[in-house]
């Protein structure tokens, strides 16, 4: 999860919209609101992509509250059971909850920042055992058996966030590679 | 995926393994097995000549080897083989002594027999080995693991690689001579196969080491071209490759995208306000798994905690906090 300039995941995550309110009147940029007005009035709410919102907020043209994916409701759900929260729907198309959280945390002040980062960390740590378990299991699971869609495994897999899905793919692939090496070497040596 | 192809070795291994289970040496079947071994050796000849030209190709990527003495190289080569093949060779030597062999290469091996015995006293479990006792292959494994475990580019171990190439060549010549000698027995042919397997493993280590470095170099190509401090970490070929790669990439970007943009948007080395730069630097905050060989003292982690790096403990810490000790060799990357 590097903050590479050329990383496509980072670019996609940055593109997610943030709801900000302007602190002053701006002329001629009314099209940002989507309406037909020519100017933006003070305290009007506009949805801006994060890369725009960050620069504007740093220069104090806009302010924004903590966005909904990181609200208290989500925090309470995570505290209750981190593994059953669907993180994939919260931010953007593919789900970039962790990345976006880190970008937001960069713009916040100290106390909310530490709070948000702690939430992210705890959520990740609590979801990791389920992730690891599922990826190891899937590598050797019999796919002819229909899995019930209400099982926690499937539900977790649907709700997995973008970076978690990458880790899951890595785990699965390494399990498959280990198995094929094991099968391949034993068949080559005559089943020893 | 890699440009070093392993497929030809597998086919030859299969053909060789099918030829090998033969009855013990016996004067009646000797003629047959002699021709069988010739067949096997001819099928191997293709891969052998292929692999020696591959060695030449690999050697062209390193600096030319220093002129060494023949005797010294052979002695080094004796010590460099793994313990398994050493004991096998000791066995085959004693076997040959009984049969009264007198080929020139085997004769020179007998003189160095006592060197092989000394090396068998090495205890691989003892983690407090001084570096001089480690043979070249173990050293290469350590540097390989370090290269794979860290994000930064480590110094290029040119001398070590040169030594290993020399030893590989020596071993290859010995194997060739022994194989074409009609007096070597079936058991020895089998042992030669093991020796060749070990050579393949060493070649894999070298390839993987070079591949890891190549991946890092291509990732940080622009940064390397800009920073002269890093140039001593690379070999000559690596440095020229980094420069050409940077040029290639930039030309490609220019022609495909940047020329259509306004003049002030065409830069490729901007740095933004929040520290994000177009030039990718090695990210030194990435954690690294280390094992402390010696007492390294305490380090201060983020948030003010202190962690004691006592001897024999394993830690997962950010790279920049412990890179000093990794470079000294006091902490080993796992």
Which residues from chain A sit within 8 angstroms of residue B273, using beta carbons?
55, 58
Indicate whether A85 and A12 sit together in one domain.
Answer: no
Interacting residues of A140 by C-beta distance below 8 A, sequence separation 6+? A175, A179
Residues sharing a CB contact under 8 Å with residue B214, sequence separation 6 or more, in sequence order: B238, B241
Closest-CA residue of B relative to A185 is: B10
> Which run of H or of E encompasses B300?
strand B298-300
Banded model confidence at residue A92, pLDDT cuts 50, 70, 90:
low
Give the Cα separation of B133 and B131 in Å (integer): 5
Please indicate, yes or no, if residue A190 is contained in any of the structural domains.
no
Nearest CA in chain B to A103: B274
* A5/B274 CB distance under 8 A: no
- B14 in reach of chain A (CB within 8 A): yes
pLDDT digits (tens, 9 = 90+) for A132-186: 888 877 655 545 445 554 466 677 777 778 788 888 888 888 888 888 888 887 7
Residues in A lying within 8 Å of B, measured between beta carbons = 2-6, 54-55, 58, 106, 188
Q: pLDDT tens-digit profile of B273-298? A: 665 677 777 878 888 888 887 777 77
Separation CA B14–CA A192 (nearest Å): 15
The beta-carbon neighbor of B276 closest among A3, A55, A58 is: A3
Q: In this structure, what CATH number is given to the domain that contains residue A46?
A: 1.20.58.2050
Residue B276 DSSP symbol: -
Query: Does B257 lie at the interface with A, CB-CB under 8 angstroms?
Result: no
In a domain, A118, yes or no: yes
Chain B CA closest to residue A51: B274
Residue A17, pLDDT above cutoff 50? yes
Residue entry with tokens 């495909």: B256
Size of interface A-B (CB pairs under 8 A): 14
The residues near B45 (Cβ < 8 Å, ≥ 6 apart) are none
Domain assignment of residue A160, given as a range = 67-139+150-183
Mean pLDDT of chain B, nearest integer: 66
A138 Cβ contact list (under 8 Å, min separation 6): A172, A175
Q: In chain B, whose CA is at the least distance from the CA of A5?
A: B278
Quickly count: other Cβ atoms within 10 Å of residue B106's Cβ.
20
Of A18, A47, A65, the last residue of a domain is: A65
Q: Is the pLDDT of residue B112 over 50?
A: no
Which pair of tokens denotes residue B64?
């030319």
Residue from A1, A2, A4, A5 whose CB has the most chain B CBs within 10 Å, to mutate = A5
B1 touches A: beta carbon within 8 Å: no
Q: Mind giving me the DSSP string for A81-101? A: -GGG---TTTSTTTT-HHHHH
Average pLDDT, integer, range A118-134: 85
Cross-chain residue pair A2–B273, CB shorter than 8 Å:
no
The answer on A103 and A170 residing in a single domain is: yes
Distance CA B95, CA A73 (A): 79
Range name among A179-183, B34-38, B54-58, B163-167 with the lowest pLDDT average? B34-38
pLDDT of residue A139: 57
Contact A2 B278 (CB under 8 A): no
Q: CA-based angle B40:B42:B44, to the nearest 5?
A: 70
Work out the burial of residue B309: count CB atoms within 10 Å of its CB; fewer than 13 is exposed, 13-18 middle, 19 or more buried.
buried
Q: Is the domain of A59 the same as that of A86?
A: no
B180, B155, B151: which is closest to B230 by C-alpha?
B155
B chain contacts of residue A3, beta-carbon cutoff 8 Å? 276, 283
> Which chain B residues are closer than 8 Å to A54 by Cβ?
274
pLDDT at B209: 92
Contacts of B283 in chain A (CB under 8 A): 2-3
What contacts B296, CB < 8 A, 6 or more positions away? Answer: B309, B322, B325, B330, B331
pLDDT digits (tens, 9 = 90+) for B238-257: 889 989 998 998 888 888 88
**Candidate ranges A58-67, B77-86, B118-127, B244-253; pick with highest mean pLDDT:** B244-253
What is the least distance, in Å, from the CA of B276 to any CA of chain A? 7
More confident residue, B118 or B216: B216
Residues A173 and A108 reside in one and the same domain: yes
Residue ending a domain, among A65, A96, A115, is A65
Using a CB–CB cutoff of 8 Å, tell me whether B283 touches chain A: yes
Q: Are residues A60 and A74 in the same domain?
A: no
Instruction: Say if CB A43 and CB A21 are below 8 A apart.
Output: yes
Q: Do the beta carbons of residue B158 and residue B89 sit within 8 Å?
A: no
Contacts of B267 in chain A (CB under 8 A): none
> Would you say residue A191 lies in a domain?
no
Distance from CA of B286 to the nearest CA of A (A): 9
d(CA B148, CA B334) in angstroms, rounded, equals 9
- Please tell me if residue B15 touches chain A, with a CB cutoff of 8 Å: no
For residue A22, being part of any structural domain is answered with yes
- Residue after which a domain boundary falls, among A38, A65, A92: A65
Q: State how many domains chain A has.
A: 2
Is B276's CB within 8 Å of A106's CB? no
**Among partner residues A2, A4, A106, which is closest to B274 by beta-carbon distance?**
A106
Q: How far apart are CA A62 and CA A53, in angstroms?
A: 8
One domain, residues A19 and A91: no
In this structure, are A113 and A48 located in the same domain? no
Whether residue A78 is found in the same domain as residue A61 = no
* Judgement on whether residues A9 and A52 belong to the same structural domain of the protein: yes
Is the domain of A119 the same as that of A96?
A: yes
Structure tokens at B276: 């994000």
Q: Please report, for residues A64, B1, B53, B164, the alpha-carbon distance to residue B137 in angstroms, rounded to integers and kept in the order given.
A: 59, 25, 22, 8
In a domain, A50, yes or no: yes
Does the predicted model carry a pTM greater than 0.80?
A: no
The answer to whether B277 faces chain A, any CB pair under 8 Å, is: yes
Query: Does residue A57 sit within a domain?
Result: yes
Residue A145 domain flag? no
Question: How confident is the model at residue B80, as a pLDDT?
Answer: 42
Spell out a b/e string for B176-208, using b for 16 or more CB atoms within 10 Å of the CB, else e: bebbeeeebbbebbbbbbebbebbeebbebbbb
Asked if residue A95 and residue A155 are part of one domain, the reply reads yes
Same domain, yes or no, for A92 and A163? yes
Quick one: how far is CA A192 from the chain centroid?
Answer: 46
B274–A54 C-beta distance less than 8 A: yes
Residue A192 lies in a domain: no
Nearest CA in chain B to A184: B10
Q: Which residue of A has its CA nearest to B268?
A: A5
Nearest C-alpha in A relative to B10: A188
């Amino acid at each position: 999860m590097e903050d590479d300039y050329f990383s496509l995941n980072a670019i996609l995550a940055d593109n997610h919209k943030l709801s900000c309110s302007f602190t002053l009147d701006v002329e001629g940029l009314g099209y940002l609101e989507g309406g037909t007005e020519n100017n933006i009035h003070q305290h009007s709410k506009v949805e801006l992509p994060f890369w725009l919102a960050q620069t504007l907020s740093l220069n104090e043209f806009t302010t924004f509250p903590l966005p909904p994916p990181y609200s208290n409701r989500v925090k309470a759900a995570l505290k209750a059971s981190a593994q059953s929260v669907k993180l994939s729907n919260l931010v953007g198309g593919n789900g970039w909850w962790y990345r976006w959280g880190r970008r937001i945390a960069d713009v916040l002040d100290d106390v909310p920042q530490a709070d948000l980062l702690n939430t992210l960390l705890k959520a990740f740590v609590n979801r990791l055992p389920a992730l690891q378990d599922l990826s190891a299991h899937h590598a050797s699971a019999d796919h002819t058996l229909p899995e019930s869609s209400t099982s926690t495994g499937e539900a977790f897999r649907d709700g997995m966030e973008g970076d978690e899905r990458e880790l899951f793919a890595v785990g699965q692939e390494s399990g498959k590679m280990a198995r094929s090496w094991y099968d391949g070497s034993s068949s080559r040596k005559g089943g020893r | 995926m890699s440009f070093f192809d392993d497929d030809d070795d597998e086919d030859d291994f299969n053909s060789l393994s099918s030829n090998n289970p033969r009855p013990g040496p016996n004067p009646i079947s000797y003629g047959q097995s002699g021709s069988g071994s010739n067949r096997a050796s001819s099928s191997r000849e293709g891969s052998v000549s292929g692999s020696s030209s591959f060695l030449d190709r690999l050697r062209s990527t390193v600096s030319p080897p220093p002129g060494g003495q023949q005797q010294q190289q052979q002695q080094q080569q004796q010590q460099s083989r793994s313990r398994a093949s050493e004991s096998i060779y000791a066995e085959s030597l004693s076997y040959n002594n009984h049969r009264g062999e007198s080929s020139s290469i085997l004769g020179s091996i007998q003189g160095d027999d006592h060197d092989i015995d000394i090396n068998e006293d090495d205890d691989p479990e003892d983690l407090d080995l001084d570096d001089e006792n480690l043979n070249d292959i173990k050293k290469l494994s350590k540097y390989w693991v370090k290269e794979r475990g860290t994000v930064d580019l480590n110094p290029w171990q040119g001398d070590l690689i040169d030594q290993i190439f020399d030893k590989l060549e020596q071993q290859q010549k010995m194997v060739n001579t022994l194989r074409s000698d009609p007096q070597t027995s079936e058991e020895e042919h089998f042992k030669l196969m093991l020796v060749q397997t070990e050579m393949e493993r060493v070649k894999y280590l070298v390839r993987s080491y070079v591949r890891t470095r190549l991946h890092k170099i291509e990732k940080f190509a622009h940064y390397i071209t800009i920073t002269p401090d890093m140039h001593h970490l690379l070999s000559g070929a690596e440095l020229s490759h980094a420069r050409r790669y940077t040029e290639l990439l930039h030309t490609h970007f220019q022609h495909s995208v940047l020329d259509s943009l306004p003049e002030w948007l065409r830069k490729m080395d901007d740095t933004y306000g929040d520290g994000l730069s177009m030039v990718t630097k090695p990210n030194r905050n990435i954690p690294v798994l280390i094992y402390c060989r010696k007492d390294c003292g305490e380090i201060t982690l983020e948030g003010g905690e202190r962690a004691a790096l006592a001897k024999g403990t394993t830690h997962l810490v950010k790279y920049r906090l412990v890179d000093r000790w990794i470079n000294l060799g006091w902490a080993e990357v796992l």
